[in-house]
Structure 1
Amino acid sequence: MKLLLSALIILIMVFSTINKAFSSFAVDIYPYTTFVTVEAFNCTKFLGFERVIIRGYFEDYDRKHGGSIDSNLLKNYKHAKKGGYTYIDVYMSPCTGRSTCKTPSQQVNELVQFISTHKLIIQTIWLSIDINPDSHNWDLGPIENRKILKEFLTAWKSTGSKFGIYTSQSQWEMITGDINWVLDSSIPLWYAIYDSHRILDDYQIFGGWTQGTGKQYAGDSKFCGGSW
């Protein structure tokens, strides 16, 4: 079976308790995959990828559910665990821009409740702020988009879960209307620059973030029997 996985990410994490920074590599699962085998996860782990990021929630525009849990979340989580991963994140592609979308609070609570019910040990949940031309998300204009982002922020904070933002400088500017508009710069930032450079010193300030926690630097890489 062909595996459909996406981008490699390099992340740098800072631990204040020991005042030391280190880099680790991760893979994130492409949205349209069915599921990822234990063998594939084991292979990427053997190659040195220490972290995996699984899609947990998606827009679900086609079926007009207004946002849904990814049906492969639980299976991919279990396979990642069996493949040797202990550091597992989840990302969320929210439903925005349509009257059929559930409220930010409903979407966030659905994902958090699923994680809690199935006792998944998740390190960070990432909110993907990224334009999808096919689904016309973030299509309501900067003023409404900012309002929606604030509602998601409030919803996440109310859950007590550790969460972060995935976006890029250009996406942030298009969605919010201002490259310097600040939602909450204390939230971890996973930013995208597809330049194939495994470095974090190329970060350019936007949204109030002075540095990024992680960088997505490439996609569609082929190894471990599939496309990542």
Structure 2
Amino acid sequence: MKVLVLLSLFAVIVSADRYGLDMAVPVNVSTWRCWLNQGFSFASVRAYHSFGEIDENAPDSIANAIEAGFAPEDMAVYHFPCCCGAKKSADVQVAEMVDYLAQSQTNYSIVWFDVETNPSRNCGWSTDSDTNCAFLKDLISAAASRHLVTGIYASKYMWQSIMGGDRCTVGGDLPLWYPRYNQDPSFQDWAPFGGWTQPYMKQYWDHEPHCGVDADVSWRPN
């Protein structure tokens, strides 16, 4: 069964649609080249930790991707926000990430804000969905004030449990990247929520089997 899954993944990667990766670990040039040769063409790199600090690996990982042949416009970063019990406001968190990436002249086209359970101490989302919705709105506003393109990473389940479902439509006009690990690179399983009528991208597998580095696999139509 595992062999069939791997062959199926490779078969779809050579199609006209686009496949990408996201990771929370540093990645060297040779691994990026391996991924490029496997047919992956875009990536999202963690730039802000769930415990409320910048990820210092992001600039080097992105620079290595570009050296390997990935286009700068196909590189993205994701921000895992530390909410609600945090000492840092949404504006401070965004500023820390943006300033650090700017110091390294890091290329990225979009910032994805991660809406999912936060395991870090004193950084979890509030039990009050209105508070969480307001914090996300502050994150988006902080990014907009710095002229950044932004999107939201969230599943329908996480949006319901954290943001209160359709009570919160903050970000509903932004691109949505949603996870469902069914190894199906399509939107056949999509169901609207939170103001989104259609998604931009789907994370459909939580383990990248090639090239020796753990990463999630996403798909988007061309």
Superposition TM-score tier, normalisation by shorter sequence:
0.7 to 0.9
Per-residue CA deviations over 1:133-184 (Å, capped at 9, x if unaligned) read 4546113421211221121122122111111000100000000122453113
State how far apart, in whole Å, the 2-side matches of 1:178 and 1:90 are. Answer: 25
Find the counterpart in structure 2 of residue 74 from structure 1: 59
State how far apart, in whole Å, the 1-side matches of 2:87 and 2:177 are. Answer: 25
State how far apart, in whole Å, the 2-side matches of 1:91 and 1:226 are. Answer: 18
Gaps of 5+ in 2: 1-8, 10-15, 216-222
Gaps of 5+ in 1: 1-7, 9-21, 61-66
User: Is 1:159 the equivalent of 2:159?
Assistant: no
State how far apart, in whole Å, the 1-side matches of 2:30 and 2:172 are. Answer: 38
With the length of structure 1 as denominator, give the TM-score of the two structures: 0.81
RMSD: 1.8
Tell whether the 8 Å contact from 1:180 to 1:208 is kept in structure 2 after alignment: no
Mapping 1:1-228, distance limit 5 Å: 23-29=17-23, 31=24, 33=25, 35-60=26-51, 67-86=52-71, 87-98=74-85, 100-135=86-121, 137-179=124-166, 181-228=168-215
Tell whether the 8 Å contact from 2:84 to 2:135 is kept in structure 1 after alignment: no
State how far apart, in whole Å, the 2-side matches of 1:104 and 1:82 are. Answer: 32
Distance 1:133 1:112, change over 3 A: closer
Which structure shows the higher strand fraction?
1
Per-residue CA deviations over 1:103-154 (Å, capped at 9, x if unaligned) read 0001111112222222222111101011134546113421211221121122
Code of the residue aligned with 1:25 in structure 2: it is Y
Helix, strand or coil: the match of 2:18? strand
Helix, strand or coil: the match of 1:69? coil
Tell whether the 8 Å contact from 2:78 to 2:114 is kept in structure 1 after alignment: yes
List structure 1 runs of 4+ shifted beyond 3 angstroms.
Answer: 133-136
Tell whether the 8 Å contact from 1:180 to 1:206 is kept in structure 2 after alignment: no
Distance apart, 1:202 and its partner CA: 2.4
State how far apart, in whole Å, the 2-side matches of 1:120 and 1:71 are. Answer: 12
Identity %: 29
Tell whether the 8 Å contact from 1:93 to 1:128 is kept in structure 2 after alignment: yes
Distance 1:102 1:54, change over 3 A: same
> Which stretch of structure 1 is more off in the superposition, 112-121 or 208-217?
112-121
Give the total of aligned pairs: 198
Which structure shows the higher helix fraction?
2
Code of the residue aligned with 2:17 in structure 1: it is S
Distance 1:153 1:38, change over 3 A: same
Code of the residue aligned with 1:96 in structure 2: it is C
Distance 1:23 1:180, change over 3 A: farther
